[in-house]
Each structure stands twice: as C-alpha cells, then as structure tokens.
Amino acid sequence: STIVLATRNTKKVPEIQAILTGAGLDAELVGLDGYPGMPAVPETEPTFSGNALLKARAVAQYTGLPALADDSGLRVDALNGMPGVLSARWSGRFGEQSGEMDRANLELVLDQLADTPQERRGAEFVCAAAFVLPNGTEGVVEGVLRGSLIGEPHGGEGFGYDPIFVPEGESRTTAEMSAAEKNAISHRGRAFRLLAERVWEVLG
Ligand code: ITT
C-alpha cells in the first residue's frame, strides 16, 4: 500500500521510510514530489503536533490516501526553546536550496550561542508524527532527543542542525552517525515507532 508523507523536505522521506519499515509497517512512502500542484500548507500552529496534524489533514484531503506528516525542530535551552516550530525558517531563507538554507539556520544558532559556555548549551530535537486516514481517523505522537550544541559543525550525514547536535551520552554529532544509528535514538525514530504501533491498533 502507499502512504503519502506530507513533506517537501526530501531528507525526511528515506529517514521515515527506514524507521517504519524497521517497525514492520509494510507500506511505500511517497513525498509530495509526485503532487506538484498541491498548495503549500501554512504552518500556523504554535506547536509541533498542531502543525503536523495540519499538514497530514491537508494531504489526506488532497490525495484521498492515508497521510503522515512530520513537524520537527530544535529547542535550544539558552534561547528559551527557540527556534522550535520556526526551525526551518529561522534564518529567513526558507525556500532556498535545502543545503544552503540548513547551513544558514545552523550558522545563525551558532552566532546566537557564541557567548554561551558549553555547560549551558543544552538543546533538544523534537518530532511530532501525525497520521490521518481516509475515514477521518487521526492521531499524533511526539518524540524527543536531548543533547547539546557544539561550537562548530562536524559530519556530513543527516540534515538541518545535525552537524552541531551531540545527543546525551554520545561523543559524536548526529551528522557523524549512520542513518541506522541516528534512527535508533532520534526524536523522529521515537515518534514514528510510536506512530506505527498506533496506526496498527487503528487498522486492527
Ligand atoms: P516539511 O514541512 O515540508 O516537512 P520542513 O523541513 O520545512 O519540511 P519542518 O517545518 O518540520 O519541516 O522543519 C524541520 C526543521 O527542523 C528542519 O528543516 C531542520 O532545520 C530541523 N530538524 C528537524 N529534524 C531534524 C533532524 O533530525 N536533524 C537536524 N535538524 C532537524
């Protein structure tokens, strides 16, 4: 069966496909590349869960297929939880080529933390995973990964803020981990493994 993932972030599709396949969900995930006419969904909610549900509902309605969505981001302790739901848009360069936009977002956070010592550089990745089925059944769950932000980027895997994020108890950034290593501990891994259980219950 096919499930549409309500994302234009091409890095999310393989990450989430691997997590769901690992959780035993037998479905092919497709991103929004196949739906170029679908209008962008404004992410107007103040919470990750609210925005994930907005995206999944819009795509379920547009496609008539079961839809999943990921709304995620980085909460930085010393920035009072920012950029949070604004993580993709933090540098104001949303819509540019994804590598450059990711780098601009990361550099801005590093600038903002320039005077913050390592012991106060705690942060967490958060992921809300939502599902909406054609019969209207819906749900949303969250996963969190605690860690801290180092002063300069390390590693070329992953995306977004991965090159500066070191999970608690680890010495490498999530950009220095394989996809499987990251998924085993990540906010996204936790959220989508929970979601897979939930979707099974609903589907009976
Ligand atoms: P869609 O809304 O189309 O899914 P998006 O990238 O705009 O794509 P979000 O609004 O959920 O998605 O923003 C997520 C941002 O949070 C992402 O662009 C990264 O900057 C950051 N982020 C989320 N998960 C991350 C991860 O696993 N590693 C590094 N950065 C992450």
pLDDT tens for the chain, 204 residues: list them: 899 999 999 999 999 999 999 999 888 999 999 999 999 999 999 999 999 999 999 999 999 999 999 999 999 999 999 999 999 999 998 888 889 999 999 999 999 999 999 999 999 999 999 999 988 999 999 999 999 999 999 999 999 999 999 999 999 999 999 999 999 999 999 999 999 988 877 765
Q: Give this complex's ipTM.
A: 0.98
Residue 188 is assigned to a ligand binding site: yes
| DSSP character at residue 97 | -
Residue 72 is assigned to a ligand binding site: yes
What domain range is 28 assigned to?
A: 2-203
The finding on whether 192 has its CB within 6 A of some atom of ligand 1 is no
The finding on whether 173 has its CB within 6 A of some atom of ligand 1 is no
39 in Cβ contact with 55 (< 8 Å):
no
Structural domain count of the chain = 1
The finding on whether 7 has its CB within 6 A of some atom of ligand 1 is yes
Amino acid at 23: A
pTM strictly above 0.90: yes
The domain that contains 108 carries what CATH number?
Answer: 3.90.950.10
Distance CA 138, CA 180 (A): 28
Residue among 26, 33, 70, 71 flagged as catalytic: 71
3 state SS of 115:
coil
3-state secondary structure 129-153: EEEECCCCCEEEEEEEEEEEECCCC
Distance CA 83, CA 86 (A): 5
Determine the distance separating the centroid of ligand 1 and the alpha carbon of 187, expressed in angstroms: 12
- Which atom of ligand 1 is nearest the CA belonging to 90? 20
Count CA atoms closer than 13 A to 99's CA, side-chain side: 2
Residue 71 annotated to the active site: yes
